[in-house]
Structure 1
Amino acid sequence: MSLTILCFGIIHTIYFTVRFHYTKVLLSNFSCNLITYLRVMITFQLAFALIMVSVYIFGYVLYHQKAFFKTKKWFILCIVCQWIMGIALATVIISKNDSVRHNLVP
């Protein structure tokens, strides 16, 4: 979860730096779509991080006698599922919206 929060901070810092100091960079369709994709993906990651923490603890507590739920494989599986879901859902949302443009007027 802390990795997700770190990525959230980095992506939004880059976005606001580019938006306020290099506004011409956002005029291209590719950079606009890339920045929007990263912002949507990281926002999904925050929500999925909370869900995966709950799933991890649920499996650990409910199935405390099963060895699998006490291993690092279970932990890594939860993290990988979180990132796959966030990347996949952000891709679907961005692909549905071809004309993503930021409001560049302050």
Structure 2
Amino acid sequence: MLAPEAAGERFLGTGEFVWMREIAAALRTGLGDAAAQVPTRQLPDFVVRVASLADRSLRPIMPGLGRRNRHSTDKARRILGWQPRPAADTVIGCGSSLVEWELA
């Protein structure tokens, strides 16, 4: 954030979009036996929609079901020279930390 052209600007600090099943696969691949209990099956959207009728806590996620969020970090890359870490590396790093601290 030392670039003069960054003054007063806002930047997105987000990486690539990943689905939950991709996160599960990365954990299984990257952590091996430590991630053996990570579920990899996908619950169909219609099941979540039906369940939201009985469980109000699911309602806030309804608009995002099946929707791939797209954000551009081009401005941060161009002005700041910023490069996000690959999503799989981030997920595996977080999972490793949780295992190391015996939180997972």
Name the structure, 1 or 2, with higher relative contact order (CA <8 Å, separation 6+): 2
Same fold judged by TM-score > 0.5? no
TM-score (norm: length of structure 1): 0.29
TM-score (norm: length of structure 2): 0.29
| Higher percent of residues as helix | 1
